Chains A and B, each alone.
Chain A
């Protein structure tokens, strides 16, 4: 359809005052922090040119998968941004896994001046981040992704230790692991400790002595009370509702651990966000 000069004039008069004006030096910059696999984001929307034409734009952006920042700049030309949305084109990131920031910047080279934030929040395959419309959200706002993950299976006589990855924030809901004790006579006593990488900030002893040649399941879980079920060889220890920043560690410390005692890989149930 051809845009008549009258229509173009009306569009500019109507939309320009309510839009972001761009000139040739301005651009859209997207920055993502993502931990999910196989994600491609698409930024799409409409742009009103100085000729009064409404152009549709669609830019693709591939985030990193280690939660580090990936940034890309898209030139827009002269005109006005009418609307913009971000969604996952590929992959299935959940809320808490793929954080996106879209800004207006001046400059198309490595030296860019950020001028305004249009969008900031979690992108997913099921919901949209939209300008205008969406709130500017911090990465630590709201609920995160619920994950069940298997950690490292330690060698015999080595403790369990899991570290919160770079740019992640974990809320520990439960940790379950099994200790197989060898034939050496000793009373093992396992505790879950939390440290910030250098200093212990929490210690949750099970309070149960475990003798030789047994297989015992340990559960550290948010809330509840401590109990042990002898017939099931299960020891349950409560932990507080706790958030862990990147670099924090969850580890067992087992008193009287013997040379061929063996912890299995821990199973963690966590809520995960991108670190703010």
Chain B
């Protein structure tokens, strides 16, 4: 199933072609996202600090970050839980075939 994370809007398959589960975790803010956060007053950089310096010095996480990694269960019979659901996900259409191997008919 192809999913879109409603926090970071990244898209991913929850089950990979090798049958293993994939655990999405939202990325930290990029330079343009940090610039927007500074502009909006949600982040204050240190005096004379550039965006590049700030990103090298610190990791800026987004609020309501989705983290699908499994929480260690205190008892094996407890249902599985993820670290954080964030804003949730929605199902999106599968990626149009971008197969890397194409069999050419005779």
Query: Residues 1-45 of chain A: 1 if any B CB is under 8 Å from the residue's CB, otherwise 0?
Result: 000000000000000000000000000000100011110000000
Whether, in the assembled complex, A50 has its beta carbon less than 8 Å from a beta carbon of chain B, the answer is: no
Whole-angstrom distance between the Cβ of A196 and the nearest chain B Cβ: 10
* A153 & B12 in contact (Cβ 8 Å cutoff): yes
Measured between alpha carbons, how far is A165 from B69 in the docked complex, in Å?
6
* B20 & A149 in contact (Cβ 8 Å cutoff): yes
* B20 & A161 in contact (Cβ 8 Å cutoff): no
* B55 & A160 in contact (Cβ 8 Å cutoff): no
* B8 & A158 in contact (Cβ 8 Å cutoff): yes
Measured between alpha carbons, how far is A68 from B75 in the docked complex, in Å?
10
* A152 & B12 in contact (Cβ 8 Å cutoff): yes
Complex contacts, B30 vs chain A, CB 8 Å? 157-159, 254, 257
* B9 & A158 in contact (Cβ 8 Å cutoff): yes
* A37 & B20 in contact (Cβ 8 Å cutoff): yes
Whole-angstrom distance between the Cβ of B54 and the nearest chain A Cβ: 11
Whether, in the assembled complex, A108 has its beta carbon less than 8 Å from a beta carbon of chain B, the answer is: no
* A198 & B70 in contact (Cβ 8 Å cutoff): no
> CB within 8 Å of B: which residues of A?
31, 35-38, 64-71, 91, 97, 110, 147-155, 157-163, 165-167, 195, 198, 200, 246-247, 249, 251, 253-259, 265
> CB within 8 Å of A: which residues of B?
5, 8-13, 15-28, 30-33, 52, 55-56, 59, 67, 69-73, 75-76, 80, 95
